[in-house]
Amino acid sequence: MSEYMQTYQVRRVLTHHDGLKSFRFGRVLNAAPGQFVLAWLPGADEKPFALSGVFDDEIEITVKAVGPFTRQLMNVKAGDWIGLRGPFGSGFQLVERMVLVGGGIGNAPLRYLAQLLREENMPFRWVLGVKTAEDLAFREELEMMPECTVVSENGSIGQKGRAVDVLAAMHESEPIGALAASGPEGMLLAVHEFAKTTSSEIPVQLSFERYMKCAVGLCGQCCLDGTGLRICVEGPVLSGHQLHGVTEWDQPHRGPSGRRPEL
Ligand SMILES: Cc1cc2nc3c(=O)[nH]c(=O)nc-3n(C[C@H](O)[C@H](O)[C@H](O)COP(=O)(O)OP(=O)(O)OC[C@H]3O[C@@H](n4cnc5c(N)ncnc54)[C@H](O)[C@@H]3O)c2cc1C
């Protein structure tokens, strides 16, 4: 794949529930975990999605329905055609004794990261934070993985609480080599703050989301204020030292016009 659009037939659709699905395409792809593709639905729009899995001759994205485009994607069936461009952006680096921290659909790219860590025989742990049990994709697969700890806000699955709540105890039981986080920005900020409180300051890699247009670094739509970093090129995965000076942590993001909702 490249920055040029190519259409692919959807090979398989995995329904986690009506508003949460994974789509597999027959495609060989060399991509790092955390990198994303742009998916184009003819007549609808083109939007970014991280890879939730890369297999011998298939790639997979996992999508949560939140708005017009993602709701339309929920109607896509095996055999339908979708345009794909990519992979784009930066990915996660694999580190020994890494702890993966995911919030909701942010767990999607961490699934691919976990897949690679396993293949490399690198020990890791994965904290999956969800609002409710329904938000957890790949439940059966995850239940077979001893590395996983599920935390839910309403206690409907796993421990009750937030993903970041379990990190201190984890670090105490076995020092964390690095933190890889993907999810809502409030969660990313909490992970970043936690890392700074530890004596040796655990290195962090955080995956950011912004409204995206060109995905090749030209339009500036997805720049992170205070740093000028483009989420589509230098990101979406940024390391702790790249984040000094960010002035828009957990603020409402710019919409399609480039304006923030409150302006
Ligand atoms: C690098 C990158 C990787 C991404 N990877 C994935 C992925 O793997 N799976 C996935 O489902 N999405 C992913 N997204 C987000 C995805 O691109 C958006 O969900 C999608 O653009 C929404 O389009 P829409 O037209 O359906 O909704 P929009 O009209 O754009 O949004 C509708 C409403 O939902 C809110 N919203 C938007 N995104 C989210 C969200 N993720 N969670 C909660 N509320 C949201 C908006 O603020 C708005 O209020 C990624 C985004 C980026 C930048």
Per-residue pLDDT reduced to its tens digit, 62-78: 999 999 999 999 999 99
- At 99, is the pLDDT very low, low, confident or very high (cuts 50, 70, 90)? very high
Angle CA 164–261–193, to nearest 5: 20
Q: Which of 64, 88, 112 is the last residue of a domain?
A: 88
What's the structural domain count of the chain? 2
What the block records as the tokens of 57 is 């001759």
For the chain, give the percent of residues with pLDDT over 90. Answer: 87
180 occurs within a structural domain: yes
Query: Which CATH number is 24's domain given?
Result: 2.40.30.10
Say what the pLDDT of residue 200 is. Answer: 86
Q: Kind of pairing, strands 223-224 and 229-230?
A: antiparallel
Ligand 1 pocket, mutate which of 70, 111, 260 (most atoms under 8 A from CB): 70
Q: Give the range of the structural domain holding residue 140, as residue numbers without chain letter.
A: 98-207
Looking at the fold, whether 118 and 19 belong to one and the same domain comes out as: no
Please tell me the number of Cα atoms within 13 Å of 254 on its side-chain side: 16
Residue with tokens 């409710």: 132
257 occurs within a structural domain: no
Looking at the fold, whether 73 and 122 belong to one and the same domain comes out as: no
- At 84, is the pLDDT very low, low, confident or very high (cuts 50, 70, 90)? very high
What is the average per-residue pLDDT within 77-88?
Answer: 96
Q: Exposure string (b/e) for 122-139, b if CB count within 10 Å is 16 or more?
A: eebbbbbbbeeebbbbbe
Amino acid at position 251, single letter: Q
Distance (Å, whole) CA 54 – CA 116: 9
- For residue 212, the CA-to-ligand 1 centroid distance in Å is 10
pLDDT in tens, 155-213: 999 999 999 999 999 999 999 999 999 999 999 999 999 999 998 899 999 999 999 99
Looking at the fold, whether 102 and 195 belong to one and the same domain comes out as: yes
> Which DSSP helix (H) or strand (E) runs through 71?
helix 68-73
- For residue 135, the CA-to-ligand 1 centroid distance in Å is 15
